[in-house]
A and B are shown apart, each in its own frame.
Chain A
C-alpha cells in the first residue's frame, strides 16, 4: 500500500508542470547536499534537472551525497554516510547508504509559503530515517523563514505526542528499529512516534554569502548515548559561500560543541560549459549553378569516381561511407558515424559533404546513419532545400519540416564502398576501475592499460575483444567474497575476479547484427561476453522508427568464467533472458521494464526510470524484484541502484559519442543480477529514430 503511495507521488511529480511562480531566492544546500538549512530541510526545490555531488564532514561523522532534481517539484538523493565510533569510544566507524525523496506540494506565491513533504533514509537501514512536512517563505529578497514538523530522527529531540494520533493510536509509537537486511521500504515506521517542531532562518548577506541559523530536532541519540557526541544545544549556525559558479562551500557551528564543513558541486545537464560545442565548421554547402541540373553525365562511368570522392570527403569529417546507391536524380548513402553524439548533426554534415561531390542532377539525398553496427533510419532531404536554408534564420526547422524520416532501405542495391571488409580498428588506452561501498574500504581505484580491437568481417558481422593489464592500485584487500546467501554466487564473488584476473581477457566475442524487417532488429553474440560470463546471447527488438515504444526479447545461455579471467570456465551455467518494453514518455522521461529469469535462476522484473537529457546526460534509478526473499537476498533486501552517465562532448566541448559513468549499486548481491552483454540493440537504434532526431534537430547545421 505505502509502496503504491510512493509510486503515486512519483507519477504526480512527473506530471507536474513548471510552477507558475518560482521561488524568489535560489535555495542553498545544507549538510546533506539537498536544499536545506543545515541539518534541517527547507521546502524549496533545486532548479529542475540539476545534479549535485556533495561532501560534508563534522567531528563525529560525515556524508557524501548525490542529489538530483528529478522533476520541478521532486528531489531525490542518494547518500553514503559514516558515523565514527558508532558503538562507543574506540569502536570502529560504520558506513550506511540511504535514499531521500522530497516532493514540493505547494509552490511559493506572494501570499503563501512553499510546502513540501519529505522522507529521509526511506529504504536504507533506517539508521537516519525521518519524515517531515515543511514550509518556507521568503520575505523581501534576502530573508527566508522555515518551519516544519518532523518524525523519526527529526522528532528525536523536543518531541511531543504525535498529533496524528487523533486518527489512529498506532501513530503514537514508532516501532523499534528492526532493519533486518536493510534496504527495504519500512513503511511501518513512517510518520510514527514522537513529533517535533523544527525551524530556521537564512539571510542572504550579499551575492556570495548566505548566513543560516536553525533549531534542530535531531537528537543524535545513539551517538549521544554512546558518549561520542556532545549535543549541548539545539541551535546550529552556518555560512554558505556561493561566489564560485556551480560550487557551494559551507561552514557550520553545530550543537554548541563542534564545527562542520561542506562542499557541493552543481551540474546542470541543460547547460553545456562550451555552449553549442567547439565543433569545427562543416564543409559549406556547394550550390549548383543555375541550369546545371540539365547537364548530362554518364552515370555508369562516373559511379566509382563519385563513390571515391564521397568516401574522401566524409572521411575528412570522421565518417565512413559504408554503401552507396546512385541514380540520375537521387542518391542513397549508408554512413557510419563514430564522432557526433547527435545523429541530426551527423546527417547535416553528411548532407553538406554530398553537395560538394554529387552531379547537379542529383536532387534527393537519402542518408542512412549508422551509429552502431546497424542502419535503421533513412533521412530524405532535398538538395534544393539545403541550398535554400543554409545559413538561413531558423534554417534547422525549415529543413526538418521538409524532411522525411523512414525505415532504412534494404542492403540490396547499395554498392559497397571500397576497402570495407575486413577492417580492423584497434586502440591502446588507459582504463580505470573502481569499487564502491566496501565497508573495509569504501573506495578502491585501479588503473592500467587496455588494448581493444574490432575486426569487421561483413556488414553486421564483427569480432571484438579487449585485454587489460593493471598497473596501479590493487584489490588484494578486497576479500568480501561469495555472500552467505543460499543463491549461487553469480555476482557476489566479483572481488575475486578483480584480485585474480590480472592480466585479464575482458571480452572476446563474435557478433552478428541483422534487420529481418523494417521495424525488427536482431543480434547474436557468442564468446566471452563479459568479465564473469561467456556463452551465447540472442536478442530480437521491435522498434519502429517513428514510435516511442519498443519491445524486445533476449535469451542467453552462459557459463561462469574462471576467476583468472582467462579462457577457462567453472561448472555453473544458466539459461537467462528477459522480455523488455521500452517507452519514451517525452519531456526526457524514459521507462524500461524487463521481466524474465536472472543469472541466479531467480524470476522477476526490473523497472528502470531515467531522465535522458537532450544534452546526452542520463540520470535514473532501477529496482529489481524477484522470487528471492529479502532474507535469501541478504544485505539490501533487493537489487537496486542509480544510473548516472555524462556525455564526453558535454565535458570536453569537442564532438564525441562516448559517455562516462554508469550504474551505481549500493551493494552487489546475487539476486536480480543480469548478464552484461555488449551492444544491446535498443540504445544502438534509438538515437537514430524520430524522437531523438527531432529533439536534437537544432544541431543539423552545427
Chain B
C-alpha cells in the first residue's frame, strides 16, 4: 500500500508542482477535517522516504494452524507496486466473496474469478465474467467477451470490453504453504484495441481454483492470488 501511495504522490507532486497552495496543509493536530488533510499529506510524504521491505506475510502461517482457524485467508500480491498481503474473508453475497487487508484494501472474487478491487487507485469497480468463467472452467473457448467497469476522472463508470481466448496449458504444480499441489493450468488471453493481457488459473484436482494471476487495470497491472484456506 505504501508503494501505491508513493507512486501516486510522485505523480501528484510533479503535476501539482505549481499549485503552491499545497503548502496550506502541512501538518497539525486536532479533530477537524483539515487535520485529516494534513495527516494525509504527512503519510504520503513519509511513505516517500520509508523503503519498507515487507516480510512475506505467509512466513508465519502453517497449514495446520490455518486448517483449524475460524477465519479464511487469501494471499495477494501486486507485482507492479510491489505489495503483498494476506486478506481475510469478510463477506459473502450471492456468488461473491469479499476479502479485506489490514490497510483497507478489499478484493472480491466470484468463485475465484476477480470481479472487484478497492484501494489500489485504478480499481476494478465490477466485471461481467459469466462467459469467461464457464469457458475457463471448461478449459477452452474462442472470442469470449469479458467486460470491466472502471471509475474515470469525472466520476463516471467507464466500461472496457475485451475479447478473450482460453486454452488449457497442461498439468503443473504450485506450492502453497510448503505443500505441493498438483494443478491443471488454464490461460486466458484478452485484448481490445488498446490493451492486451494474459490471465492464468490453476485448478486443483478437486476443481478448486487454488492460485491465479488476474489483470486489474493498466496502472495496477496484475494480481497474483493464492487460496491459503481450503
Residues in chain A within 8 A of chain B (CB atoms): 53, 244-247, 265, 267-282, 284-287, 318, 338-339, 342, 344, 387-388, 390-397, 425-432, 434, 447, 452-454, 613-615, 646, 648, 651-654, 656-658, 660-661, 695-699, 701-702
Chain B residue at smallest Cβ distance from A662? B21
The verdict on B194 contacting chain A, using a C-beta distance below 8 Å, is no
Asked whether A695 lies within 8 Å of B121 as measured between CB atoms, the reply is: no
Chain B residue at smallest Cβ distance from A53? B18
Of all A-B residue pairs in the complex, the 8 with the closest CB atoms, nearest first, are A280-B104, A281-B106, A427-B30, A276-B151, A427-B32, A281-B118, A275-B122, A284-B91
Residues of B with C-beta under 8 A to A338? 33
The verdict on B50 contacting chain A, using a C-beta distance below 8 Å, is no
Asked whether A651 lies within 8 Å of B26 as measured between CB atoms, the reply is: no
CA separation between A285 and B123, bound complex, in Å? 18
Stretch touching chain A among B3-11, B54-62, B71-79, B132-140: B3-11
- Classify the interface of chain B: helix, strand, loop or mixed: mixed
| 6 residue pairs bridging A and B, Cβ less than 8 Å apart | A280-B105, A388-B94, A427-B34, A454-B32, A658-B33, A661-B21
Residues of B with C-beta under 8 A to A388? 94
Residues 73-116 of B, flagged 1 when their CB comes within 8 A of A and 0 if not, give 00000000000000000111110101010011110101000011
Residues 20-37 of B, flagged 1 when their CB comes within 8 A of A and 0 if not, give 111111111111111111
CA separation between A453 and B28, bound complex, in Å? 13
Asked whether B155 lies within 8 Å of A431 as measured between CB atoms, the reply is: no
Count of B interface residues, CB-CB < 8 Å? 73
Asked whether B28 lies within 8 Å of A394 as measured between CB atoms, the reply is: no
Q: Contacts A429-B34, A429-B35, A658-B34; is A276 near B125 (CB within 8 Å)?
A: yes
CA separation between A344 and B157, bound complex, in Å? 13
Partner of B19, one of A268, A274, A395, A651: A651
Asked whether B23 lies within 8 Å of A432 as measured between CB atoms, the reply is: yes
Asked whether A651 lies within 8 Å of B91 as measured between CB atoms, the reply is: no
Output the residue of A53, A388, A657, A658 with the most chain B CB within 10 A: A658
Partner of B115, one of A278, A391, A425, A615: A391
Residues of B with C-beta under 8 A to A698? 125, 151-152, 155-157
Partner of B126, one of A244, A657, A701: A701
Chain A residue at smallest Cβ distance from B122? A275
Asked whether A652 lies within 8 Å of B44 as measured between CB atoms, the reply is: yes
Asked whether B155 lies within 8 Å of A615 as measured between CB atoms, the reply is: yes
CA separation between A646 and B153, bound complex, in Å? 13
Chain A residue at smallest Cβ distance from B90? A284
Asked whether A653 lies within 8 Å of B121 as measured between CB atoms, the reply is: yes
CA separation between A285 and B96, bound complex, in Å? 11
Chain B residue at smallest Cβ distance from A287? B93
Q: Contacts A429-B25, A658-B33, A660-B19; is A397 near B96 (CB within 8 Å)?
A: no
Output the residue of A53, A280, A287, A452 with the most chain B CB within 10 A: A280
CA separation between A268 and B108, bound complex, in Å? 31
Asked whether A279 lies within 8 Å of B8 as measured between CB atoms, the reply is: no
Partner of B33, one of A268, A339, A654: A339
Asked whether A656 lies within 8 Å of B125 as measured between CB atoms, the reply is: no
Chain A residue at smallest Cβ distance from B40? A654
Q: Contacts A272-B153, A279-B119, A425-B31; is A431 near B24 (CB within 8 Å)?
A: yes
Residues in chain B within 8 A of chain A (CB atoms): 4-5, 8-9, 11-12, 14-38, 40-41, 44, 90-94, 96, 98, 100, 103-106, 108, 110, 115-116, 118-123, 125-128, 147, 149-157, 159, 217, 219
Residues of A with C-beta under 8 A to B29? 427-428
CA separation between A169 and B23, bound complex, in Å? 56
Q: Contacts A397-B157, A654-B40, A699-B155; is A660 near B30 (CB within 8 Å)?
A: no
Q: Contacts A275-B151, A698-B155; is A390 near B30 (CB within 8 Å)?
A: no
Q: Contacts A284-B98, A393-B127, A429-B30; is A246 near B14 (CB within 8 Å)?
A: yes
CA separation between A554 and B98, bound complex, in Å? 50
| Chain A min CB distance to B142 (Å) | 22
Chain A residue at smallest Cβ distance from B104? A280
CA separation between A697 and B118, bound complex, in Å? 17
Partner of B93, one of A268, A271, A390, A661: A390
Asked whether A429 lies within 8 Å of B98 as measured between CB atoms, the reply is: no
| Chain A min CB distance to B225 (Å) | 16
Chain B residue at smallest Cβ distance from A352? B91
Asked whether B118 lies within 8 Å of A702 as measured between CB atoms, the reply is: yes
Asked whether A391 lies within 8 Å of B30 as measured between CB atoms, the reply is: no
* Pair count A-B, CB < 8 A: 222
Chain B residue at smallest Cβ distance from A616? B155
Residues of A with C-beta under 8 A to B35? 427, 429
Residues of B with C-beta under 8 A to A268? 153
Q: Contacts A276-B150, A427-B35, A658-B34; is A391 near B28 (CB within 8 Å)?
A: no
Residues of A with C-beta under 8 A to B27? 429-430
Residues of B with C-beta under 8 A to A342? 155
CA separation between A427 and B30, bound complex, in Å? 4
Residues of B with C-beta under 8 A to A344? 155
Partner of B105, one of A273, A281, A428, A615: A281
Asked whether B8 lies within 8 Å of A273 as measured between CB atoms, the reply is: yes
Asked whether A695 lies within 8 Å of B106 as measured between CB atoms, the reply is: no
Asked whether A653 lies within 8 Å of B126 as measured between CB atoms, the reply is: no
Q: Contacts A430-B28, A651-B16, A653-B121; is A274 near B33 (CB within 8 Å)?
A: no
Asked whether B12 lies within 8 Å of A651 as measured between CB atoms, the reply is: yes
CA separation between A278 and B94, bound complex, in Å? 26
| Chain B min CB distance to A381 (Å) | 16
| Chain A min CB distance to B11 (Å) | 4
CA separation between A387 and B44, bound complex, in Å? 35
Asked whether B36 lies within 8 Å of A339 as measured between CB atoms, the reply is: yes
Residues of B with C-beta under 8 A to A282? 106, 118
| Chain B min CB distance to A276 (Å) | 3
Q: Contacts A396-B157, A698-B151, A699-B155; is A273 near B31 (CB within 8 Å)?
A: no
CA separation between A391 and B97, bound complex, in Å? 10
Residues of A with C-beta under 8 A to B21? 432, 646, 660-661
| Chain B min CB distance to A693 (Å) | 11
Q: Contacts A280-B105, A284-B90, A430-B28; is A275 near B153 (CB within 8 Å)?
A: yes
Q: Contacts A427-B31, A428-B28, A429-B28; is A278 near B155 (CB within 8 Å)?
A: no
Residues of A with C-beta under 8 A to B156? 614, 698
Residues of A with C-beta under 8 A to B8? 273-274, 278, 652-653
Asked whether A279 lies within 8 Å of B118 as measured between CB atoms, the reply is: yes
Residues of B with C-beta under 8 A to A247? 14
Given contacts A280-B119, A388-B94, A698-B151, 4 further A-B contacts (CB under 8 A): A284-B90, A452-B32, A653-B12, A660-B22
CA separation between A318 and B31, bound complex, in Å? 11
Asked whether B12 lies within 8 Å of A274 as measured between CB atoms, the reply is: yes
CA separation between A272 and B8, bound complex, in Å? 10
Q: Contacts A426-B30, A432-B24; is A615 near B104 (CB within 8 Å)?
A: no
Chain B residue at smallest Cβ distance from A397? B157
Chain B residue at smallest Cβ distance from A64? B18
CA separation between A468 and B134, bound complex, in Å? 64
CA separation between A285 and B32, bound complex, in Å? 29
| Chain A min CB distance to B229 (Å) | 18
| Chain A min CB distance to B105 (Å) | 6
Asked whether B108 lies within 8 Å of A391 as measured between CB atoms, the reply is: yes
Asked whether B219 lies within 8 Å of A284 as measured between CB atoms, the reply is: no
CA separation between A33 and B165, bound complex, in Å? 48
CA separation between A428 and B30, bound complex, in Å? 6
Q: Contacts A429-B27, A701-B125; is A613 near B93 (CB within 8 Å)?
A: no
Asked whether A265 lies within 8 Å of B15 as measured between CB atoms, the reply is: yes
Q: Contacts A273-B8, A429-B28, A660-B22; is A394 near B126 (CB within 8 Å)?
A: yes
CA separation between A602 and B79, bound complex, in Å? 64
| Chain B min CB distance to A697 (Å) | 8
Q: Contacts A276-B125, A426-B31; is A271 near B153 (CB within 8 Å)?
A: yes
Q: Contacts A275-B122, A646-B21; is A656 near B36 (CB within 8 Å)?
A: yes
Partner of B154, one of A273, A615, A656, A657: A615
Residues of B with C-beta under 8 A to A269? 153
CA separation between A429 and B154, bound complex, in Å? 30
| Chain B min CB distance to A660 (Å) | 4
